A and B are shown apart, each in its own frame.
Chain A
Amino acid sequence: MTLRAPLTIGPAPHVHAGTSVAWIMLHVVIALIPACVFAVYLFGLAALLTLLVATLSCLAAERLLQRGSAFTLADGSALVTGLIYGLTLPPALPLWMVAMGGFVAMAIGKTLFGGLGSNAFNPALVGRVFLQAAFPAAMTGAWLAPLTAERFVTLPEATLSGPFLAPASGSYDALTGPTPLGDWKFAGGETSTFDLALGFTSGSLGETSALLLLMGGLYLVWVKAANWRIPTAILLTVAICASLLHGIDPQRYPSASFMLLSGGLMLGAWFMATDPVASPLSAPGCWVYGLVIGLLVVLIRLWSGQPEGVMYAILLGNALSPHIDRWTQPRAYGVTGGGP
């Protein structure tokens, strides 16, 4: 007998598809890289520092908060949260706020619910919504004009300001270029589709290049790291609603291309709404979820006091997700009627 090693036993199946949580997260990071690089190119040092601090604060929070349990940084989920969180932020936000939001994202958005797999909401958005509520002025006024000549040399004054020492009021204005959605809502301007698609506009780090985000999203769907039904449902819903409304009153309602390419829709649809933990399980559930988020985006953008609604739309979608799951239970083979 050549057999020397003792036999091990383990439950069937004895083979595996080879995916892992870390594998999924790695692909999300890869898909985000072009948008991150573009944000740095557009806004310079401020963007680089914001992304770095956002990511590091999330990683540090995860390490600190999950101290008792196994080494959870290796699954990559904190890295993904950090990057996505960073991309939702305006480029000239004070870094201490960035760090604080990152900590809140991991502490309240994730750890408090029970860590990986248990969060009810997308943690990155929890961090962002915290900042929005705590520092509304900074969050809506920290826009930078893209491609300024000195963007790699100087930092906006706000970036390095000390905690709770907001820079003198008015200092933002010198830097600000209005975001396309804000411009449309408050000044009636409509940025050209070309600028929106390529991303040479003002806005949050990940709000700018719709094309790069779309490429990243398609990559995610192609490697099957994200459920294609969710972004498809969201974008279709927004496109159809916007086309209908624009057809009715082109003066009042922006075109479908503007709605699709502006703001955080691409980032939200491809990277945040697809967070598996906080989205429904079944295929029909994903369609319903996408439809709900799409409708909410249109509703908030067009009829609320806010220029952008992707963040709230996704958070509300997250909240509905367990209920959608319940309504869209798959019908088991051979079972007629009944169900939970």
Chain B
Amino acid sequence: MALLEVKSLGISFGGLRAVDNLNVSIEQGKLYGLIGPNGAGKTTIFNLLTGVYKPSDGFITLDGVDITGKSTIEINKAGIARTFQNIRLFKGMSVIDNVKIGLHNGNGYSTIEGILRLPRYHKVEKEMQEKALELLKVFDLDSEAETLASNLPYGKQRKLEIARALATNPKLLLLDEPAAGMNPQETLALMETIQFVRKHFNMTILLIEHDMKLVSGICEELTVLNFGQVLAQGETSEVLNNPDVIKAYLGE
């Protein structure tokens, strides 16, 4: 059974069918790409998968558990974490605190223990500090742990967002245009980071991307969307040679 199973998923906004009859299944450990022209419904699918929108029809199961219509918080706890197209960091907080927010649900002590600084507070905070630093090290951000998140350069902000998502210990990681706004070198570095994350954490990754070099470089399977509908699906090399896909991208 695949890690993520999406069956005939659809959503309408008023009369507009933003996503229609989407079927996707992603095996554990795969790197899966979601591509398509602007307005094809890619981010809408992410919002459906993470509970920001409730689907009009269809089912989503993660690791055999039905998560259709669940709240964002429940879905995160079930094991889906994401990044955003327009980066959403906790800007007034330090880099390491951003990651600690990701660690929030996995590492607990009560409010009273926190205010009274009981032993468990010190123990758990120490663990969180260590885990957070470890994650930051993976992304080469550990030397900037105390920097304000908003003061990081753009590329590092993207990395921090991924680190924060990973801190929630997900089964599936969704990346929304991770290479947006990056130059070719940065994109290359990012590809390496994504590959590394996949290996290091044995992570299943679904990503939205416009950068074809990145997509063809690291994605094993693809779904191509156009006007909310699936245009093509399958192995990356096959899909990219599909005449319909070429037509949708380059025009007739």
Question: Do the two chains belong together in a single complex?
Answer: no
Using a CB–CB cutoff of 8 Å, the interface residues on chain B facing chain A are none
